[in-house]
Chains A and B, each alone.
Chain A
Amino acid sequence: MNIIQVTNLIKTYETGEIKVHALGGINLGFSQGEFTAIVGPSGSGKTTFLNMLGGLDKPTSGEIIVDGVPVSSLTGSKLVEYRLRNIGFVFQSYNLIPVLTAIENVEFIMQLQGVSKAVRRKRAEELLASVGLGDRLHSRPAQLSGGQQQRVAVARALASKPRFILADEPTANLDSKSAQTLLEIMERLNREENITFLFSTHDSRVMNMARRIVTMEDGIIATDENHAK
């Protein structure tokens, strides 16, 4: 049973009279607990596709249904609420709030959800411990390495108990050791807690770890392979 069902997704950008077909009719489904890498060359439509799944961008046509909810037709505050409750985002450049400590960054999402202080503090501590940062709870982003910041970002993405996590090139700015650590943490979380991860990536290490690899070319799905381990 797919938790995400994408049907004939098309995205066309218009610049004056020029039309660019970023997505040319995607049909895909993702089930609970997948660890999927979406790969492809630059301009193949990976980020556009993730933005559509994340409700950050609107398709020109087609439909995205998450748990029976037609995400592509949500607007305004309902769409924001959908993102807050259902999706965890991990960005390429971490995007932590620099004035908040690691634990405050993780708590922040839960506060937006209205979680009580005691509950969110406990969960934030647990999540940071699970990504190996139990001893850096009160460090600010500037006091953490790139790898550590990205691990805080993963903890933040998990904080809202999302249906799935979208990670756009999560290892692109990390050195190989930090990238490896991060991938292992995400893979463990996926395996142990059945959390669905969807990555866009160029990184071969991510591809090696993924159990499903979707390759995109010129806005369409070129291949869709299962690498169950």
Chain B
Amino acid sequence: MLWSIAWKNIWRNKTRSFVVIIAVFMGMVGGIFSSAVMNGAAVQRIKDAIRLEISHIRICIPAFKQDAGLEYYFTGSGKMAERISAMPWCEGVTPRTRIISMANTAARTVPVQITGIIPSADKGVFDFTSCICDSCGDFLNDSSGNVVIIGDKLAENLKVKLKSKIIFTFQDKDGNITGAAFKVAGIFHTSNNLFNEFRVFVPGTVMSELVLLPEDAAHEIFIRVKEGYDVNQIKEMLKKAMPGFSIESWDEIDPTMGMLNEMMAAMMYLFMVIILLALGFGIVNTMQMVVLERTRELGMLAAVGMKRGRIFSMIMLETLLLTSTGALLGMAASAALIAWTGSTGINLTSISQGLEAAGFAAVIYPYLNPSFFAGVAVLVVLTAVVAAIVPARRATRLNPVEAIRVE
């Protein structure tokens, strides 16, 4: 009956209760949906980074991790890749070489990072083909010669188009300055402008020949893990199997991705805590009013034998029900809004330059892990309980004799 009384008491003053419910509802929708937008952008950034830049796992020698110098390569990469690709968890594996170079055209000279790839293997790990539009050329193939694919931002900087030539100059393994001309075979666009501006891809065989690396040398091996497998578990397994190599998961390859992942979770909860804190003060005020208005009734209840604990629980329940009603409605509306915008996306192309400069896509698909809703529900209950303490204590401390006389 305590639940029933608490629920009925909420509707004594419908306007006041609706105001609180709407405030909680708005707070929930605002907080949860904003969190979903932020999280969606971050998740997409991480997915794009894994899909295009860092994959799930990288193998290199420890010195390369420190310095990324041309001389820190290892041989036998082909055989290593072959063995790894036979693993049941392996979606794709690709060795790569990497050097820093200057890209020269008649218009400009800019620094770039050249990555030598084995196109057929690379397709199994990275997804560049989807980043090259129909009129933007083609991805490399294993028989390609001196061709390069570059980002649209770099093309713009160097003022080059498809089939234009770019001269790359760099040092070979012996420290001699060397270079070669490459024809632009494709122009890609990713949501990361820095990547579009700085990274170029050439056939690995051509690059190895130019920098005098052995045929099966690589600086890095990238692995894409099949869905459903634990990346960290596989990383640990590889560490044991390949002592002497540096083996990192995606959040270690690019620590900003790992940080983004962790920071976003903390930020979302912080955001909700701030919103609930503000709502909490409103709820305290409302419940104080409730207790004040019902002083005589609460005095009567104490007089006829309702124990303090029950009076406390009744006010606590009222606060919980009032807050939970708004919160549940808010969570349901947020879930619907997230489901809708998550399928259509939120188009922010008007500010795409700013977003892409920071590595984020211009179309954001809001997303939240369902566990976040459970976390929010716990926070809502905590808020209601904390907000109810002061008014509930006040209700239990009423002197029945004085309270009954209150008009």
User: A97 contacts which of B5, B307, B308 (Cβ < 8 Å)?
Assistant: B5
Q: Are A77 and B305 in contact (CB under 8 A)?
A: no
Q: Are B1 and A108 in contact (CB under 8 A)?
A: yes
Q: Is B19 on the interface with A (CB-CB < 8 A)?
A: no
Docked complex Cα distance between A108 and B308 (Å) = 16
Q: Are B401 and A57 in contact (CB under 8 A)?
A: yes
Q: Are B401 and A85 in contact (CB under 8 A)?
A: no
Residues of B close to A99: CB separation below 8 A:
5, 8-9, 11-12
Docked complex Cα distance between A54 and B265 (Å) = 57
Per-position 1/0 for B22-48, Cβ under 8 A of A: 000000000000000000000000000
Per-position 1/0 for B1-21, Cβ under 8 A of A: 100010011011000000000
Docked complex Cα distance between A89 and B305 (Å) = 10
Q: Is A84 on the interface with B (CB-CB < 8 A)?
A: yes
Per-position 1/0 for A67-80, Cβ under 8 A of B: 00000000001001
Per-position 1/0 for A23-62, Cβ under 8 A of B: 0000000000000000000000000000100101100000
Q: Are A98 and B305 in contact (CB under 8 A)?
A: no
Q: Is B87 on the interface with A (CB-CB < 8 A)?
A: no
Q: Is B358 on the interface with A (CB-CB < 8 A)?
A: no
Docked complex Cα distance between A56 and B399 (Å) = 8
Residues of B close to A112: CB separation below 8 A:
304-307, 310
Given contacts A91-B300, A99-B8, contact A85 B1 (CB under 8 A): no
B153 CB, min distance to chain A CBs, angstroms: 67
B331 CB, min distance to chain A CBs, angstroms: 27
Given contacts A97-B297, A99-B5, contact A81 B305 (CB under 8 A): yes
Q: Is A109 on the interface with B (CB-CB < 8 A)?
A: yes
Per-position 1/0 for A95-139, Cβ under 8 A of B: 101111000100111011100000000000000000000000000
B302 CB, min distance to chain A CBs, angstroms: 7
> Interface centre among B11, B304, B310, B404, by most A CB within 10 Å?
B304
A16 CB, min distance to chain B CBs, angstroms: 18
Residues of A close to B297: CB separation below 8 A:
95, 97-98
Residues of B close to A93: CB separation below 8 A:
296
Q: Are A77 and B404 in contact (CB under 8 A)?
A: no
Q: Is A150 on the interface with B (CB-CB < 8 A)?
A: no
Nearest residue (CB) in B for A83 is: B305
Given contacts A95-B297, A99-B8, contact A56 B1 (CB under 8 A): no
Docked complex Cα distance between A1 and B306 (Å) = 30
Nearest residue (CB) in B for A97 is: B297
Q: Is B133 on the interface with A (CB-CB < 8 A)?
A: no
Q: Are A95 and B296 in contact (CB under 8 A)?
A: yes
Q: Are B1 and A91 in contact (CB under 8 A)?
A: no
Q: Is A160 on the interface with B (CB-CB < 8 A)?
A: yes
Residues of B close to A98: CB separation below 8 A:
12, 297
A-B contact count (CB 8 A): 60
Q: Are B305 and A91 in contact (CB under 8 A)?
A: no
Given contacts A95-B296, A99-B12, contact A83 B304 (CB under 8 A): yes
Nearest residue (CB) in B for A160 is: B305
Docked complex Cα distance between A180 and B8 (Å) = 34
Nearest residue (CB) in B for A159 is: B304
Q: Are B12 and A80 in contact (CB under 8 A)?
A: no
User: A109 contacts which of B8, B9, B12, B304 (Cβ < 8 Å)?
Assistant: B304
Nearest residue (CB) in B for A109 is: B304
Docked complex Cα distance between A102 and B310 (Å) = 21
Q: Are B401 and A51 in contact (CB under 8 A)?
A: yes
Q: Is B400 on the interface with A (CB-CB < 8 A)?
A: yes
Residues of A close to B8: CB separation below 8 A:
99-100
Given contacts A91-B404, A95-B296, A100-B5, contact A54 B303 (CB under 8 A): yes
User: B302 contacts which of A80, A81, A97, A109 (Cβ < 8 Å)?
Assistant: A80
Residues of A close to B302: CB separation below 8 A:
80
B11 CB, min distance to chain A CBs, angstroms: 8
A47 CB, min distance to chain B CBs, angstroms: 9
Residues of B close to A91: CB separation below 8 A:
300, 404
Docked complex Cα distance between A98 and B300 (Å) = 12
Given contacts A95-B404, A100-B5, A108-B1, contact A85 B307 (CB under 8 A): no
Residues of A close to B305: CB separation below 8 A:
80-81, 83-85, 109, 112-113, 160
A9 CB, min distance to chain B CBs, angstroms: 16
Residues of A close to B404: CB separation below 8 A:
91, 95
Docked complex Cα distance between A187 and B310 (Å) = 34
Q: Are A77 and B303 in contact (CB under 8 A)?
A: no
Residues of B close to A51: CB separation below 8 A:
401
Nearest residue (CB) in B for A82 is: B305
Per-position 1/0 for B279-305, Cβ under 8 A of A: 000000000000000001100111111
Q: Are B1 and A111 in contact (CB under 8 A)?
A: yes
Docked complex Cα distance between A84 and B307 (Å) = 9
Docked complex Cα distance between A84 and B8 (Å) = 24
User: B303 contacts which of A83, A107, A108 (Cβ < 8 Å)?
Assistant: A83
Residues of A close to B5: CB separation below 8 A:
97, 99-100, 108
Docked complex Cα distance between A80 and B309 (Å) = 11
Nearest residue (CB) in A for B307 is: A80
Nearest residue (CB) in B for A76 is: B308
Per-position 1/0 for B86-100, Cβ under 8 A of A: 000000000000000
Interface residues of B in 91-125 (CB under 8 A from A): none
Given contacts A77-B307, A112-B305, contact A95 B300 (CB under 8 A): yes
A-B contact pairs, 11 of them (CB 8 A): A51-B401, A54-B303, A84-B306, A85-B305, A89-B303, A89-B304, A91-B300, A99-B12, A104-B1, A112-B306, A112-B310
Q: Which residues of A contact B (CB under 8 A)?
A: 51, 54, 56-57, 77, 80-81, 83-85, 89, 91, 93, 95, 97-100, 104, 107-109, 111-113, 156, 160
Listed from nearest, the 10 A-B pairs whose CB atoms lie closest are A84-B305, A99-B8, A95-B300, A83-B305, A56-B401, A80-B307, A56-B400, A111-B1, A57-B401, A51-B401
